[in-house]
């Protein structure tokens, strides 16, 4: 939100609900559009929920973008970390191509977060105007980072495939471990490296749950409100920790939630 506000823009949130698999619904987008709206920001697969926009949904969202003359900026950094469903991009839809900008990076696919190397793909006019801005922003960057990025994109690495397999198995592990807990509800996750859990059944919101869990059980999770008030009843769990560590964390979360229910 701070990045959006920095140049003077205003962020207009569109709610994503666990009941809908955290998929942006066209009707919700249409209600959020105002006369001053200029850009539709998308993220697929989505952080923090792990939801994946299918082509039909993108077509409907794109129809609204065309009707209201909105640019589409789509963050596709988790494209290679999908373990359920097929990836689709607005850039692949001909009617949207001239109003779409796709952003990505090597940080997730190649586990190279610290190098901060990414790119944007869009219409020729956009790229021409972006070039002098990017030259200013990137002036003084180390050339080896660009060389490494080229090597990553041209090479044949199995990093993403190994992560996909691990993350899919851990998402299943979490769902199994928490299946018998009536006060917790796991969200559907199709890609990325996180899973959301609805904790409202415990009587706590996401922030209260996260702090109490850390203090009493020594388990750290991300409070949902960190991602906006629509996530007030959620917590985010990372799929990046070893299986046994994650399994033990789920046991502690289950026990914590059961204790809350019995109180």
pLDDT for 1: 84
Residue carrying the six token digits 């922030």 = 207
Residue 164 confidence (pLDDT) above 90? yes
Looking only at the bridges linking them, the beta strands covering 194-198 and 118-121 are: unpaired
Query: Token pair for residue 223?
Result: 């409070």
Residue 216 confidence (pLDDT) above 90? yes
Mean pLDDT of the chain: 95
Q: Are residues 118 and 221 in the same domain?
A: no
Furthest-apart CA pair in the chain: how many Å?
62
pLDDT for 138: 83
pLDDT for 141: 81
Residue 108 confidence (pLDDT) above 80? yes
Q: Are residues 108 and 168 in the same domain?
A: no
Q: Are residues 78 and 196 in the same domain?
A: no
Residue 114 confidence (pLDDT) above 90? no
Residues 109 and 160: beta-carbon distance below 8 Å:
yes
User: Which one of 154, 175, 205 terminates a domain?
Assistant: 154
Q: Are residues 33 and 126 in the same domain?
A: yes
Arithmetic mean of pLDDT, 66-76 = 98
pLDDT tens digits for range 79-90: 999 999 999 999
Q: Are residues 114 and 17 in the same domain?
A: yes
Q: Are residues 143 and 205 in the same domain?
A: no
Q: Are residues 83 and 32 in the same domain?
A: yes
Three-state secondary structure of the chain: CHHHHCCCCCCCCCCCCHHHCCCCCHHHHHHHCCCCCCEEEEECCCCCCCCCCCHHHHHHHHHHHHHCCCEEEEECCCCCCECCCCCCCHHHCHHHHHHEEEEEECCCCCCCHHHCCEEEECCHHHHHHHHHHHHHHHCCCCHHHHHHHHHHHHCCCCHHHHHHHHHHHHHHHHHHHCCCCCCCEECCCCECCEEEEECHHHCCCHHHHHHHHHHHHCCCCEEHHHHCHHHCCEEEEECCCCHHHHHHHHHHHHHHHHHHHHC
Nearest-angstrom CA–CA distance, 19 and 226: 20
Domain CATH code at residue 175: 3.90.1150.10
Q: Are residues 50 and 111 in the same domain?
A: yes
Domain CATH code at residue 13: 3.40.640.10
Radius of gyration over every alpha carbon of the chain, rounded to an integer in angstroms: 20
Task: Spell out a b/e string for 239-260, using b for 16 or more CB atoms within 10 Å of the CB, else e.
Answer: beeeeeebebbbeebbebbbeb
Residue 263 confidence (pLDDT) above 80? no
Q: Where does residue 103 rank: exposed (0-12), middle (13-18), buried (19+ CB within 10 A)? A: middle
Q: Are residues 83 and 138 in the same domain?
A: yes
Residue 36 confidence (pLDDT) above 90? yes
pLDDT tens digits for range 181-200: 999 999 999 999 999 999 99
Count of structural domains, the chain: 2
pLDDT tens digits for range 123-162: 999 999 999 998 898 888 888 998 999 999 999 999 999 9
pLDDT for 262: 80
Q: Are residues 126 and 6 in the same domain?
A: yes
The pTM assigned to this predicted structure is: 0.92
Arithmetic mean of pLDDT, 242-253 = 97
Residue 118 confidence (pLDDT) above 80? yes
Nearest-angstrom CA–CA distance, 69 and 8: 20
Work out the percent of the chain whose per-residue pLDDT is above 90: 90
User: Which one of 119, 154, 189 terminates a domain?
Assistant: 154
User: Which one of 89, 124, 154 terminates a domain?
Assistant: 154
| Full strand arrangement of the beta sheet holding 194-198 | 185-186, 194-198, 234-238, 222-223
Residue 12 confidence (pLDDT) above 90? yes
Domain membership of residue 206 as a residue range: 159-262
Q: Are residues 114 and 235 in the same domain?
A: no
Q: Are residues 123 and 164 in the same domain?
A: no
End-to-end CA distance of the chain: 38
């Amino acid at each position: 939100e701070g990045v959006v506000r920095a140049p003077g823009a205003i962020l207009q949130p569109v709610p994503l609900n666990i009941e809908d698999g955290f998929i942006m619904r066209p009707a919700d987008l249409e209600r959020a559009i105002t006369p001053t709206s200029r850009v539709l920001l998308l993220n697929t697969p989505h952080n923090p929920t792990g939801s994946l926009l299918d082509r039909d949904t993108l077509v409907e969202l794109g129809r609204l973008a065309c009707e209201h003359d909105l640019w589409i900026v789509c963050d596709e950094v988790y494209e290679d970390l999908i373990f359920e469903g097929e990836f689709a991009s607005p850039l692949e839809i001909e009617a949207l191509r001239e109003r779409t900008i796709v952003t990505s990076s090597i940080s997730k696919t190649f586990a190279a977060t610290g190098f901060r190397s990414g790119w944007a793909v869009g219409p020729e006019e956009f790229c021409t105007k972006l070039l002098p801005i990017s030259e200013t922003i990137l002036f003084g960057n180390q050339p080896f980072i660009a060389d490494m990025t080229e090597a990553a994109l041209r090479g044949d690495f199995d990093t993403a495939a190994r992560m996909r397999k691990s993350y899919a198995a851990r998402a299943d592990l979490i769902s199994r471990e928490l299946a018998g807990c009536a006060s917790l509800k796991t969200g559907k996750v199709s890609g990325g490296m996180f899973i959301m859990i609805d904790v409202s059944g415990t009587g706590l919101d996401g922030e209260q749950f996260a702090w109490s869990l850390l203090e009493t059980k020594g388990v750290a999770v991300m409070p949902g409100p960190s991602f906006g008030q629509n996530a007030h009843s959620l917590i985010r769990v990372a799929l990046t920790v070893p299986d046994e560590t994650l399994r033990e964390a789920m046991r502690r979360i289950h026990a914590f939630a059961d204790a809350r229910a019995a109180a």
